[in-house]
Amino acid sequence: MRIGCGAGFAGDRIEPAVRLAERAGLDDLVLECLAERTIALGQQRRLRDPAAGYDPRLRARFTPLLPVALARGVRVVTNMGAANPLAAGAATRDLLGELGLGGRVAVLTGDDVLDRIDPRAPALEDGVPLADHGELVSANAYLGAEELLPALDTGADVVLTGRVADPALFVAPLAHRLGWALDDWSRLAAGTLVGHLLECAGQVTGGYFADPGRKDVPGLADLGFPFADVAADGTATIGKPEGTGGAVTTATVREQLLYEVTDPTGYRTPDVVLDFRQVRAEQTGADRVRIGGAVGGPRPDELKVSVGYRAGHRAEAGISYAGPGAAERARLAADVVLARLGGAGARLRADVLGGPDEARLRVAAMAPDPDAAEVVCHEVEALYTNGPAGGGGVRTDVREVVGVVSAMLPRSEVEPAVEVLEVDRAAP
């Protein structure tokens, strides 16, 4: 089967995904749109509006993509449900109706475990109890292929999830189409390797890899997104659509292979523990790299949980200086602001960028509440007339910060469920 990746994060480009669905002869297209903080921020939005919390770009991404994907029989699997998968499913159903497409949408829930996580449990990062970091606002377990397969079994055209481990978004469709058993650690390791290489989309085709003069990548402005041809035994070839920019080489594959991997001997996912040490990459043609050699062991008994907490408010403010002595005036402005804010109860940082004839002071601070953060912005704005000469172009911003730590939760505490939403395929 052929599986592609049409998004590697929430802000990814849309056109390459449409091109994949249109030209690549895919069976499945995965859109991986969640980072650790993304879902916590989604929970924040949902607290303000119960109908929100899913990916705010869902409609913009799906409007050009779904007509192409459904017309070509490409199943779309995505975690754009974020903190509110059911609302995302309803929005997708409504959009299908508006586009006159019809179709079936399956929604996977059960990753939200805020009511099941123990606030006294230690965070993996520092051993400090979760509640001691701040008020908990979210806790989402990383579900795996086992939880996702029932949604695929519905025959849905679009499958929406919340927090699912990134590689599992690929492992589940592979297991579903190729008939892999969920205790076949060798094949699940192979599928996880494929998912890990594809999950960041354009990174494995030369985006982020590019470094002019050292690692030149052709046609980066027209970067193509990747796909993998996967055999029943798990062997796979990574590629990209012909006529697109970027490159798929052993170098791009090896770099992505090590991305976000802290232990290549035991990369833990909800589906398998993957050992990278015997993985091999072989260039088999232009923009084609064969991969294999993944070794797998039994999956962990616990699931990782991403926990979001209220970490305070961030203030950012800047002011520019131009002309002779600009850098010196900007440095003086920094000294003035730091002196004036010494008792403001905020953690401060001031940087002077540019110079010598054009410089900008940037002040950043973490404060316990929005009022204290606003004080920082006001002091920077006051530099107009209470600081060095010639300041201008003040910009300020205050926003709440959601911190993220991790914990573990027994699988038995998670209760996944699937809801199916349908639009008549003959709808006008």
- pLDDT tens for residues 135-152? 999 999 999 999 999 999
Compute the distance between CA of residue 4 and CA of residue 22 in angstroms, rounded to an integer: 12
Find, among 334, 352, 344, 351, the residue nearest to 313 by Cα: 344
Domain annotation covers residue 18? yes
Domain annotation covers residue 293? yes
Domain annotation covers residue 346? yes
Residues 315-372 have pLDDT tens digits of 999 999 999 999 999 999 999 999 999 876 778 999 999 988 999 999 999 999 999 9
Q: pTM here?
A: 0.93
Mean pLDDT of the chain: 95
**Strand runs (DSSP E) across 157-248, as ranges?**
158-160, 227-230, 236-239
Mean pLDDT of 65-80: 98
Helix (H, G, I), strand (E, B) or coil at 61: helix
Do 130 and 223 share a domain, yes or no?
Answer: yes
* 390 close to 322: Cβ distance less than 8 angstroms: yes
Do 94 and 222 share a domain, yes or no?
Answer: yes
Do 249 and 325 share a domain, yes or no?
Answer: no
Lowest mean pLDDT among 12-16, 40-44, 126-130, 133-137: 40-44
Do 291 and 362 share a domain, yes or no?
Answer: no
Residues 86-133 have pLDDT tens digits of 999 999 999 999 999 989 999 999 999 999 999 999 999 999 999 999
Do 145 and 251 share a domain, yes or no?
Answer: yes
Q: Which domain holds residue 195?
A: 2-306+407-423
Mean pLDDT of 287-295: 97
Mean pLDDT of 273-288: 97
Mean pLDDT of 260-288: 97
Compute the distance between CA of residue 76 and CA of residue 5 in angstroms, rounded to an integer: 10
* 228 close to 237: Cβ distance less than 8 angstroms: yes
Do 150 and 299 share a domain, yes or no?
Answer: yes
pLDDT band, very low/low/confident/very high, at 426 (cuts 50, 70, 90): low
Count Cβ atoms below 10 Å from residue 90 Cβ, excluding itself. 18
Do 131 and 34 share a domain, yes or no?
Answer: yes
* 396 close to 99: Cβ distance less than 8 angstroms: no
Domain annotation covers residue 394? yes
**Strand runs (DSSP E) across 243-369, as ranges?**
267-268, 273-275, 280-285, 288-292, 295-297, 302-322, 347-354, 358-367
pLDDT band, very low/low/confident/very high, at 427 (cuts 50, 70, 90): very low
Domain of 347, CATH number, reads 3.30.70.260
**Cα 214 to Cα 197, 209, 251, 287, 289, distances in angstroms:** 22, 10, 12, 19, 21
pLDDT band, very low/low/confident/very high, at 282 (cuts 50, 70, 90): very high
Do 338 and 208 share a domain, yes or no?
Answer: no
Higher pLDDT, 62 or 37: 62
Residue 23 has what pLDDT? 95
Compute the distance between CA of residue 342 and CA of residue 344 in angstroms, rounded to an integer: 6
Compute the distance between CA of residue 29 and CA of residue 188 in angstroms, rounded to an integer: 19
CA atoms within 13 A on the CB side of 224: 23
Domain annotation covers residue 376? yes
Quick one: what percent of the chain has pLDDT higher than 90? 93
Compute the distance between CA of residue 333 and CA of residue 380 in angstroms, rounded to an integer: 9
Asked if the model's pLDDT at residue 428 lies above 50, the reply is no
Residue 44 has what pLDDT? 83
Asked if the model's pLDDT at residue 219 lies above 60, the reply is yes
Do 392 and 254 share a domain, yes or no?
Answer: no
Residue 43 has what pLDDT? 84
Domain annotation covers residue 52? yes
Do 170 and 58 share a domain, yes or no?
Answer: yes
Find, among 406, 422, 323, the residue nearest to 140 by Cα: 406
Do 260 and 399 share a domain, yes or no?
Answer: no
The structural domain count of the chain equals: 2
Domain annotation covers residue 428? no
Do 327 and 411 share a domain, yes or no?
Answer: no
